[in-house]
Amino acid sequence: MQKRPHHEKLPKDSLQKGNVYTLLHNEAPAYEAEIVKYGGGCWATVRVTDPLDNTKFYKPGDEFDIRVAMYEYAEKSVEKSV
């Protein structure tokens, strides 16, 4: 019998609705996306703000569900004007 891969669960407050993150897949940046919906657990809904991979598979505004454990996340800093 084949075992499922083990992954660490993200804390429920790890991804904040409305924040933009760079999503990395296999350690390579895939796209920047806004978190549309995440209540903890395995799935989140994202909206692409900037496709970063060379394939340009995604377009800005694309919205879809992702499996949270399949990605690493780097929150995009927002510069505030004074």
Query: What is the structure's pLDDT at 82?
Result: 47
Assess whether pLDDT exceeds 80 at residue 62: yes
pLDDT of residue 9: 63
Gap between the Cα atoms of 45 and 37, Å rounded: 5
Model confidence at 80: pLDDT above 50:
no
Tell me the pTM.
Answer: 0.78
Whether residue 22 contacts residue 32, with contact meaning beta carbons closer than 8 Å, is answered with yes
What would the 3-class secondary structure string for 12-67 be? CCCCCCCCEEEEEECCEEEEEEEEEECCCCCEEEEEEEEECCCCCCCCCCCEEEEE
Which residue type is seen at 72?
E
